[in-house]
Amino acid sequence: MRLFEPRSLAFVVLALGAALTAGAASAQTAAPAAPAAPADAPAATVADAPPAMAPAKKKPHKKATPSVVVLVTNARAVALTELDASADGAQPRSILSNLAPGKKASVKVEHGQSCLFDLHGAYADGSTTDSASVDFCKDKKLNLVD
């Protein structure tokens, strides 16, 4: 009597080969064990751990200040040295400087609730000009004339 028939022997060999292959594959993909710390090494603390990924903080949205772009044309024979604007009784601030005769420049002007500005211009020859309640939202062009 035979101990193993050829079919059962083939089955056993096939099963054994599958088991060895599975063991070899899992041995290759297993994570390596952490090395043991030397006996004289200090104990690890929470501070030694790598920092966790914190979610990125979103920047707070600033409310955009309304603004208007105004085209300023110097139609005078002398250079504009400075153009100041004030809105709602606020302190005047310079919005343009050094505009040669016959030249144009675009200026972005921020405003609050009102678009009315009081203007003061100074020229290279020492002369000045003033205009009150200029609505930049209504008319986006400012022509400086003699």
pLDDT in tens, 86-141: 987 789 999 999 999 999 999 999 888 888 999 999 999 999 999 999 999 999 99
**What rounded mean pLDDT belongs to the chain?**
79
- Quote the CA–CA distance of 104 and 35 in Å, as a whole number: 74
Q: Which domain holds residue 71?
A: 67-144
- Quote the CA–CA distance of 16 and 21 in Å, as a whole number: 9
Q: Is 93 among the domain residues?
A: yes
Give this prediction's pTM: 0.56
Question: Can you give the pLDDT at residue 96?
Answer: 95
Domain tally, the chain: 1
- Quote the CA–CA distance of 33 and 8 in Å, as a whole number: 40
Q: What is the CATH number of the domain that holds 95?
A: 2.60.40.2890
**pLDDT of 28 higher than 60:** no
Q: Is 18 among the domain residues?
A: no
Q: Is 124 among the domain residues?
A: yes
Most confident of 32-41, 61-70, 124-133: 124-133
Cβ-contact 49, 119 below 8 angstroms = no
Higher pLDDT, 25 or 117: 117
Q: Is 109 among the domain residues?
A: yes
